[in-house]
Amino acid sequence: MKHAPGPVGLYDPANEHDSCGVAFVVDMYGRRSRDIVDKAIMALVNLEHRGAAGAEPNTGDGAGIMIQVPDRFLRETAGFELPAEGAYATGIAFLPQGSEDARLACEGVEKIVESEGLRLLGWREVPVDDSSIGALARDAMPTFRQLFIALGDGAPADEDGMELERRAFVVRKRVQYELGEKGAGQDGPGRETVYFPSLSGKTFVYKGMLTTPQLREFYLDLQDDRLESALGLVHSRFSTNTFPSWPLAHPFRRVAHNGEINTVTGNENWMRAREALIDTSAFGPDAAEKIFPACTPGASDTARFDEVLELLHLGGRSLPHAVLMMIPEAWERHETMKPEHKAFYRYHASLMEPWDGPASVCFTDGNVVGAVLDRNGLRPSRIWVTKDGLVVMASEVGVLDVDHADVVQKLRLQPGRMFLVDTKAGRIVDDEEIKDELAAQHPYQQWLDEGLLTLDDLKSRPHEHMPHHRVNLRQLVFGYTNEELNLLVAPMAKSGAEA
């Protein structure tokens, strides 16, 4: 993959954001079919106007689709025997362009898999047709191979598949940090020597530096009628203030997103500060050395959001729980909110600050699929539900031609509220039910009463007068600017309220 520029002129990669088109199509009852894949691709094509292209109309900013792992299709095309469905993890690897470099990268991946006590099942060549893509996309195009891994012989039963998910996560992180620092991969995101869009036993991602109509033409798998899924999450990327690349196309491992995370730099800094406090056995011994930093430095806002969400989910929380930690309601002055809901949010506010948009975030773990609008509410989305259990959510109406006679519900995504489809339960889960269940899992109010210390609880101390030059010196040491002092600190000191 090719190098993107560093900070130059008015451009700074730290300010990368995107504003895009996003949609998902799901069979509420979890019935896998080719029809769902076709409908998801059609929704993506109809979001072409929400994406962008560069100087070449056939080099896109990015397009992609996330589906459930297509087990039947892979059994017939892998070329080797696979374990039972859900007992193996798989994903496409973006490898260096050169054949020798790609071979060495595969060897590096295999060594990491072996060192983590996992079984390498094999590699599959991913058939692609690059005739429709532009020269810039082709010039940056990686080599594609699909990896298959499984838990080692004698591993304990993994009924929910989460142990395999965690082990695959560690492999992927090690590949990113150990192999991504060699050769063409050095110097940051979008230029990795090896990159996995996904590596999972539950979900599978096809994506790239493509326009929306090119995705199906490029990945020949997507043209195969044997490829089936009960859900499809699609994304058309418009990369504002950013340079397109194959890895930075959406979907990521859990989310696709329309909008911006404008607090992402502060969120990343806080995550970095918290890493020393994280203590878990979920990811095996020496996890801190393998999976941190949690946020890839310099990655896009969505990529960093996805990395933290995935960490919270694999650490033991349900996906809706992790999402509400990161994108809470505006709860502090909500006078009619249930006290137990407010206790849930207040407790988690001491663990995680909000990732504020404006942002409409779609998420899935392969079983549940949902969406949430941040508390600013500035990225509306529409939802249609049909009488046969088809659910379509998109950043606008009209991504699919649905007979109005079949539509039983028309909804919109609301600020601070979650829309969730559980394909295992075969139903739409109400926002209130989600939050009632999460709030009842632990005695959050009791924990707050026993462990939360407010400023009013602290004993007053005599004020120590400090000469101006000493105050000024400390302000400089801690990075205060004249703008912050005049516009933020001074008004807060005068009014006692947030500026």
Partners of 428 in the β-ladder: 421
Rounded to 5°, angle at Cα 318 from 314 and 319: 85
Q: How confident is the model at residue 183 (pLDDT cuts 50, 70, 90)?
A: very low
Tens digit of pLDDT for each residue in 128-145?
A: 999 999 999 999 999 999
pLDDT of residue 458: 87
Selecting among 20, 106, 295, 362, the annotated active-site residue is 20
Q: Does residue 230 surpass a pLDDT of 90?
A: yes
All residues at 6 or more sequence positions from 422 whose CB lies less than 8 Å from its CB, including other chains: 367, 368, 428, 429
Q: Does residue 431 surpass a pLDDT of 80?
A: yes
Burial environment of residue 462 by CB neighbours within 10 A (0 to 12, 13 to 18, 19 or more): exposed
Measured CA to CA, the distance from residue 64 to residue 237 in angstroms comes to 9
Measured CA to CA, the distance from residue 297 to residue 303 in angstroms comes to 10
Tens digit of pLDDT for each residue in 294-324?
A: 999 888 899 999 999 999 999 999 999 999 9
Measured CA to CA, the distance from residue 110 to residue 104 in angstroms comes to 10
Q: Does residue 177 surpass a pLDDT of 50?
A: yes
Tens digit of pLDDT for each residue in 231-263?
A: 999 999 987 655 788 999 999 999 999 988 999
Q: How confident is the model at residue 13 (pLDDT cuts 50, 70, 90)?
A: low
Rounded to 5°, angle at Cα 125 from 119 and 129: 150
pLDDT of residue 6: 59
Average pLDDT over residues 216-241: 93
3-class DSSP assignment, residue 128: strand
Q: Does residue 17 surpass a pLDDT of 70?
A: no
Q: What is the 3-state secondary structure (H, E, C) of 408-450?
A: EEEEECCECCEEEEECCCCEEECHHHHHHHHHCCCCHHHHHHH
Q: Let me know if 20 is a catalytic residue.
A: yes
Contact 36, 229 (CB under 8 A): yes
- Calculate the alpha carbon distances from 199 to 90, 148, 165, 167, 466 in Å: 5, 9, 8, 10, 56
Give the range among 47-51, 117-121, 472-476 with minimum mean pLDDT.
47-51
Tens digit of pLDDT for each residue in 396-405?
A: 988 999 999 9
Measured CA to CA, the distance from residue 7 to residue 286 in angstroms comes to 34
Tens digit of pLDDT for each residue in 52-83?
A: 877 788 898 999 999 999 999 999 999 999 99
pLDDT of residue 242: 59
Q: Does residue 365 surpass a pLDDT of 50?
A: yes
Tens digit of pLDDT for each residue in 320-359?
A: 999 999 999 999 999 999 999 999 999 999 999 999 988 8
The number of residues making up the chain comes to 499
Q: Does residue 481 surpass a pLDDT of 70?
A: yes
- Calculate the alpha carbon distances from 198 to 28, 64, 138, 148, 262 in Å: 23, 12, 21, 12, 25
Contact 214, 43 (CB under 8 A): no
3-class DSSP assignment, residue 453: coil
Q: What is the mean pLDDT of the chain?
A: 91
Before 251, cis peptide (omega within 30)?
yes
pLDDT of residue 329: 93
* Residue 209: closest CA among 176, 253, 247: 247
pLDDT of residue 7: 65
pTM: 0.89
Give the range among 190-194, 198-202, 223-227, 379-383 with minimum mean pLDDT.
190-194
Measured CA to CA, the distance from residue 241 to residue 6 in angstroms comes to 13
Q: What is the CA radius of gyration of the chain?
A: 23
> 62-84 in b/e burial notation, b at 16+ Cβ within 10 A?
bbbbbbbbbbebbeebbeeebee
